[in-house]
Chain A
């Protein structure tokens, strides 16, 4: 459970990691504690990013204050996104190969999976459908920055995009898988309606 402390900002870890690790050692590990640590890390990351915005008013024509809360671990977030989308992507790709490209040899893998999915809970189906969209957000988050600058009397908000190959590949995968799924669902709904 102590590995979750790595999600906290470096300045936080330098100050509190040792004593938090001691406390975690003293408590029975459970899902509630993991969620609490996740939420705490997210909260501290936001606070750390917020602190980087200068408190003094921005000067006219001065440099923009940038706000990039998730920029520190883009590759880790790309891997997390990949892990999120992997089950759905595998299923969609195998189905595509089997039914669209006619690789019937794959039926022995795909059809039992389809049957068990039909018999499984709606929550699992929903999770498989939501995974590409959630993974898309996770992979995109470290690439997006918000800048705040002052031009004459108005405040200007700018969005910036910092491309990274690993994240872009995962984003593309999420878009393809999400697109195929959305198209498939839309087609089925249309066919059922007619």
Chain B
């Protein structure tokens, strides 16, 4: 069972941007690096649009033809909330599997 722990593109993008602002290609490389998930451009921009619409990320000044994005305060709070939920589930899972 070698599936990545999460495939949620929105969460993966938020985690990537938590390390600092990035443009699309840098996000793809980072997500592949830390999660082993190869997002396609359609999936990536679907996630970026939802996150921008929700106010969780914002575009910065363009760098040539590239558009970098950064996490907003509410994006950081949402990421912490989601990771907290995951941590609860991971802790419960570990406790149950180690005591079994």
Contact = CB atoms under 8 A, between A and B. Distances in A.
Q: Which of B25, B42, B66 has the most C-beta atoms of chain A within 10 angstroms of its own C-beta? A: B42
B42 A37 contact: yes
B43 interface: yes
Interface string A30-71: 001101111111011000000000000000000000000000
Question: SS class of chain B's interface: helix, strand, loop or mixed?
Answer: helix
Q: How large is the interface on B (under 10, 10 to 19, 20 to 34, 35 or more residues)?
A: 10 to 19
Interface stretch (B44-52, B75-83, B87-95): B44-52
Interface stretch (A12-20, A82-90, A108-116, A177-185): A12-20
A36 B42 contact: yes
B40 A37 contact: yes
Contacts of B48: 16
A33 B46 contact: no
Interface residues of A, number: 22
A37 B41 CA distance: 7
A16 B40 contact: no
B6 interface: no
A22 B42 contact: no
Contacts of A27: 25, 28, 41
A77 B24 CA distance: 31
Q: Which of A15, A22, A37, A38 has the most C-beta atoms of chain B within 10 angstroms of its own C-beta? A: A22
B65 interface: yes
Contacts of B40: 32-33, 35-37, 40
Contacts of B44: 23
Contacts of B42: 36-41, 43
B25 A23 contact: yes
Contact of B67 (A19, A36, A38): A19
Contacts of B24: 19-20, 22-23
Given A22-B24, A26-B25, A40 B45 contact: yes
A24 B24 CA distance: 10
Contacts of B28: 23, 27
A18 B65 contact: yes
Q: Which of A15, A19, A43 has the most C-beta atoms of chain B within 10 angstroms of its own C-beta? A: A19
Interface of B: 23-25, 28, 38, 40-46, 48-49, 65-67
20 contacts: A15-B49, A16-B49, A18-B67, A19-B45, A20-B45, A22-B24, A23-B25, A23-B45, A26-B25, A32-B40, A33-B40, A36-B41, A36-B43, A37-B40, A37-B41, A40-B41, A40-B43, A40-B46, A44-B46, A44-B49
